[in-house]
A and B are shown apart, each in its own frame.
Chain A
Amino acid sequence: MADHDARKGKVLDAAPEEKNTSFIINRRQFIQATGAIGLAAGIGGLPFNAAWAAGESAGGKPKKGGTLVMDVQPEPPTLASYISTSGPIGEVSSKVYDGLCEYDFNLKPIPSLATSWNVSSDGKTITFKLREKVKFHDGKPFTSADVQFGIMEVLKKYHPRGINTFKMLEAIDTPDAHTAVFHLSTPAPYMMMALSGYESPIVPKHLFSGTDIRNSKYANNPIGTGPFKFVEWKRGQYMRFDRNPEYWRAGEPHLDRVVARFIASGQTRSAAMQSGEINYGGFAAIPYSDVSRLTKIPGLAATTKGYEMQSPIIELDFNTRVKPFDDVRVRQAISYAIDRKFVIDNVWFGFGKPATGPINSNFAANGFYTSKVKNYNVPNGAEVANKLLDEAGYPRKSDGTRFEIVHDVTPYGDEWKRFGEYTKQALAKIGIKATLRYEDVPTWLRRIYTDYNFQLTSNWIQTLADPVIGVDRLYSSWSIRKGTVFVNDSGWSSPETDKLMKAAAVEIDPVKRAALYHKFQQLVVEAAPLIWVSELHFVTVYSTKYKDLTVSPLGAYSPFNQAWLSA
């Protein structure tokens, strides 16, 4: 019944009558499985273990063919991942654009467009050997000129994070077509963590050179070197990507097609997952409340892997500029009063792990994380909190309260409202009367990051691939920047922690760098400019017919070249 002329590649013996996409696949060893286990073990306390384990079973050879329908939420505003880091863009652009590197579950760079690299002993010169015989989707070859142009002229100038990541990068030399030499003014170890096709996509020089980068006609018609070619974007409905037959990894990708659908309602997404109309939903596209029900259905499973380079932390941010939060004892008291486990289990359906400080425990993989910090997550928290507040000079008045505050609730969904209600109750126990305030996203952003007109707000921040990229912005004095969102809103900084961050940013010895971050974590946790509540676990729900979907810490942001359909 269906027209197959639009399908490319091999003939499919799929049954197109099925209302869901159906296909064929092929398989490949899930090499990273072993690496992943170490990390998963660190996550701990996952609900629904059975469904989880069923996910990425190895064995069998990957089959060719098939369509993967993923839900991307919300619909991306553009496809120009080289100038916008808006979350959903990465889920689609990463299928089209490659970066110099990919990453394994130990957060180590592995080859992609670069086959090898060599860092000089002073850390200021990095020589990349580039892959040969790689073609852009328009047939033109990929060379070192594309790397030079893409990073110096596009990412360094226009990418919201690239401006910082490549700040120390002074020039890229191209001695031959397949060698790129990066010259840095100071060592920048974090730069090696930011070279994925999601974070630093390499765009073709021949299409972008001499044009207005911000208004390129290739923004929504992307041409990359990745496993899938962009075909069309029906706004409000879907984006379609077809197999790139000339992809540089021979025999990949296995899927014929990846389609990204946009469904605004979480409940409908769950229903579509159940009926098989979508096969993959990352970044909690499926509401947390539906995950346990869906994973009980045969053929569906969930995983919290694939977000190790996002590492979001749920926080409560103080405005340390205003009383009473200028007093560290008050901040510590409130931190003691929050029962992290209760919040995770009851608000986020178990999807999280109590956070201990500014650096996510995912960074245990490369040694940056330490748990040896002041521990606020103690059983007698309320007691300690009451004592601290008495000491700070906020005794209980005759009505039992100490003072009143307005607690802003970050406007990113229902869970946050629940969390706000919990916080209100937790504060009431220690004599603080909180009134909740709900606003929409633009109003809230303006209040927190421009007007600084708040006392305590819930918030969440992705600590990303390296502390320099994701963590420094919340605690450094140079990140107190009025009008810039998701930077230092608490207004807290200290000369000592500033110094540690600066030193760690240029330290190329990983062991010494880790030591600097350990000290940093101890100091920041002691000062408590924020309360670190939970390391939020995003969850991917997917159909188990599809294999090797989550093969790197970039999860939904990875190219899906290894993914295949088994039945």
Chain B
Amino acid sequence: MGLVTERAFYVVRRLLQAVPTILVIVSLNFMLVHLAPGNAADVLAGEAGSATPQYMAFLRHEFGLDKPLYLQYVDYLKNVVTLNFGYSFRDGMPVRELILQRLGPTLLLMGTTIVLSIGVGVLLGLFAGTRPNSFRDNVISVFALVSYATPLFWVGLMLILLFSIHLGWLPTSGMTNISAFYAGWQLVGDVIRHLILPAITLSLFYMALYVRLMRASMLEQSGMDYVVTARSKGLTENAITFRHVLRNACLPVVTMAGVQIGNLLGGSVVVETVFGWPGIGLLAFRALFARDLNLLLGIFFIAACLVIFVNILVDVIYTFLDPRIQLR
């Protein structure tokens, strides 16, 4: 069996295995969100600042809150199986539509963050790890430590203060300039300008993690027997570092990145809040406080799928980095 077919089989099998996993996750989610006291009708009426008993009764009925819990669960499972996540009564539109609208900006921010944090993290870790305890290493390590220890929202606000208010180079928030009505390449440029600050803010924390990980991993690998062998073979230091050590040292970083996709969604709530980025994190946050359970569960479902998908992807990436790893 060729390597490509092997990988394809592997991915299909993992996808099939994911189905029961997801069912368990959505059931747990359902129970968890129903543990929270208060319901969407209370919140909606609370936002209204006033309500009559008729209105409250109508809301509860409309949201299906007057049904027994097991019937709500059955309804919910039906919705999940048909990939129709129900209706967000608060927003007055189907959950699927709401999520799809927000998925793009979220993926854009997440993707940029992943590329930026892994790219810069690996690079800095490599620089630090190849000259341990040098001045270069110390500077990078301190930078990583500070980035890791600083709260995201604070970094975000400081960047806004510097780049938006003092220097006036970049916008404070949003995804596009709402009064310019750009199109084509101008629109792309505009979105990039808006993306810079949130992406940097979100990347700093993860980057710091990858720098530390990469540095440690480089140090560990450089003491391995194969490095001694390569050196005795007469390979240059650069060739050893880039052809052999780097690939091996990347494995822990890739593992960590796979695990952290879920966290990234969580961290993006803060960044989306600070920068007014129209992503899914903020939507989830709002849904939670409004007890908009259909929407919340829909977002959980998407997040679960994303995490599972990324983990399969990570396993496949392993085989490229290290051909000795077999997919089973």
B278→A236 contact, CB < 8 A: yes
State A259–B43 Cα separation when bound (angstroms): 27
Residue A84 lies at the interface, judged by CB distance under 8 Å to chain B: yes
Residue A377 lies at the interface, judged by CB distance under 8 Å to chain B: no
Known contacts A84-B48, A484-B51; 12 additional CB pairs below 8 A are A3-B181, A6-B181, A74-B286, A78-B90, A163-B52, A234-B278, A237-B174, A238-B174, A271-B161, A271-B165, A275-B172, A442-B36
Partner of B178, one of A237, A449, A473: A237
Query: Which residues in A have their C-beta under 8 angstroms from that of B91?
Result: 77-78, 235
B52→A160 contact, CB < 8 A: yes
B173→A263 contact, CB < 8 A: yes
Query: Which residues in B have their C-beta under 8 angstroms from that of A219?
Result: 92
Most buried by A among B91, B93, B174, B179: B179
- Chain B residue at smallest Cβ distance from A86: B47
Query: Which residues in A have their C-beta under 8 angstroms from that of B93?
Result: 220
State A2–B179 Cα separation when bound (angstroms): 9
Contact with B along A225-251 (1 / 0, CB 8 A): 000000000111110100000000000
State A257–B279 Cα separation when bound (angstroms): 26
Residue B37 lies at the interface, judged by CB distance under 8 Å to chain A: yes
A441→B43 contact, CB < 8 A: yes
Query: Which residues in B have their C-beta under 8 angstroms from that of A271?
Result: 157, 160-161, 164-165, 172-173
A126 to chain B, nearest CB (A): 23
Residue A350 lies at the interface, judged by CB distance under 8 Å to chain B: no
State A440–B93 Cα separation when bound (angstroms): 25
Query: Which residues in B have their C-beta under 8 angstroms from that of A84?
Result: 44, 47-48
Query: Which residues in B have their C-beta under 8 angstroms from that of A433?
Result: none
State A484–B177 Cα separation when bound (angstroms): 42
B54→A485 contact, CB < 8 A: no
Contact with A along B88-117 (1 / 0, CB 8 A): 001111000010011001000000000000
Given contacts A445-B38, A483-B53, contact A264 B282 (CB under 8 A): yes
A263→B289 contact, CB < 8 A: no
In order of increasing CB-CB distance, the 5 nearest A-B pairs are: A442-B38, A236-B278, A21-B179, A263-B276, A86-B47
Most buried by B among A87, A263, A264, A444: A264
State A75–B273 Cα separation when bound (angstroms): 12
List residues of chain B with CB under 8 Å of any chain A CB: 36-40, 42-56, 58, 62, 90-93, 98, 101-102, 105, 153, 157, 160-161, 164-165, 168, 171-183, 186, 272-276, 278-279, 282-283, 286, 289-291
A564 to chain B, nearest CB (A): 16
A462→B272 contact, CB < 8 A: no
Given contacts A450-B42, A485-B51, A486-B49, contact A237 B171 (CB under 8 A): no
A274→B179 contact, CB < 8 A: no
Residue A1 lies at the interface, judged by CB distance under 8 Å to chain B: yes
State A16–B101 Cα separation when bound (angstroms): 28
- Chain B residue at smallest Cβ distance from A74: B286
Residue A417 lies at the interface, judged by CB distance under 8 Å to chain B: no
Query: Which residues in B have their C-beta under 8 angstroms from that of A21?
Result: 178-179
Query: Which residues in B have their C-beta under 8 angstroms from that of A164?
Result: 52
A441→B50 contact, CB < 8 A: no
A261→B92 contact, CB < 8 A: no
- Chain A residue at smallest Cβ distance from B168: A275
Partner of A2, one of B47, B102, B180: B180
List residues of chain A with CB under 8 Å of any chain B CB: 1-3, 6-7, 16, 19-21, 67, 69, 74-75, 77-78, 80, 84-87, 160-161, 163-164, 214-215, 219-220, 234-238, 240, 257, 259, 261-265, 267-268, 271-272, 274-275, 277, 440-447, 449-450, 461-462, 473, 481, 483-487
- Chain A residue at smallest Cβ distance from B102: A236
State A324–B69 Cα separation when bound (angstroms): 38
Partner of B36, one of A1, A443, A461: A443
B90→A268 contact, CB < 8 A: no
B51→A486 contact, CB < 8 A: yes
Most buried by B among A265, A274, A445: A265
Query: Which residues in B have their C-beta under 8 angstroms from that of A20?
Result: 179
Given contacts A160-B55, A446-B37, A462-B49, contact A19 B157 (CB under 8 A): no
Given contacts A3-B181, A77-B92, contact A484 B45 (CB under 8 A): yes
B92→A80 contact, CB < 8 A: yes
State A194–B51 Cα separation when bound (angstroms): 16
Given contacts A164-B52, A235-B98, contact A446 B38 (CB under 8 A): yes
- Chain B residue at smallest Cβ distance from A481: B53
A546 to chain B, nearest CB (A): 14
State A275–B276 Cα separation when bound (angstroms): 15
A163→B180 contact, CB < 8 A: no
B291 to chain A, nearest CB (A): 5
Q: Can you list 10 residue pairs at the A/B interface with Cβ under 8 Å?
A: A80-B92, A87-B47, A161-B50, A163-B55, A237-B276, A240-B178, A446-B38, A483-B53, A485-B50, A486-B45
B272 to chain A, nearest CB (A): 7
Partner of A486, one of B44, B50, B186, B282: B50
A214→B278 contact, CB < 8 A: no
Query: Which residues in B have their C-beta under 8 angstroms from that of A461?
Result: 49
Query: Which residues in B have their C-beta under 8 angstroms from that of A447?
Result: 37
State A77–B40 Cα separation when bound (angstroms): 12
Query: Which residues in A have their C-beta under 8 angstroms from that of B92?
Result: 77-78, 80, 215, 219-220
State A85–B91 Cα separation when bound (angstroms): 14
- Chain A residue at smallest Cβ distance from B292: A77
- Chain A residue at smallest Cβ distance from B183: A3
A445→B178 contact, CB < 8 A: no
A261→B43 contact, CB < 8 A: no
A440→B181 contact, CB < 8 A: no
- Chain A residue at smallest Cβ distance from B175: A237
Partner of A268, one of B102, B181, B276: B276
Query: Which residues in B have their C-beta under 8 angstroms from that of A240?
Result: 178
Partner of B46, one of A1, A74, A441, A481: A441
A562 to chain B, nearest CB (A): 21
State A277–B44 Cα separation when bound (angstroms): 30
Query: Which residues in A have their C-beta under 8 angstroms from that of B289?
Result: 440-442
A277→B52 contact, CB < 8 A: no
A115 to chain B, nearest CB (A): 30
Most buried by A among B180, B278, B283: B180
Query: Which residues in A have their C-beta under 8 angstroms from that of B178?
Result: 21, 69, 237-238, 240, 259, 261
A265→B45 contact, CB < 8 A: no
Given contacts A264-B276, A473-B50, contact A485 B45 (CB under 8 A): yes
Query: Which residues in A have their C-beta under 8 angstroms from that of B55?
Result: 160, 163
Query: Which residues in B have their C-beta under 8 angstroms from that of A67?
Result: 179
Query: Which residues in A have their C-beta under 8 angstroms from that of B58?
Result: 214
State A271–B180 Cα separation when bound (angstroms): 20
- Chain A residue at smallest Cβ distance from B45: A485
State A130–B56 Cα separation when bound (angstroms): 34
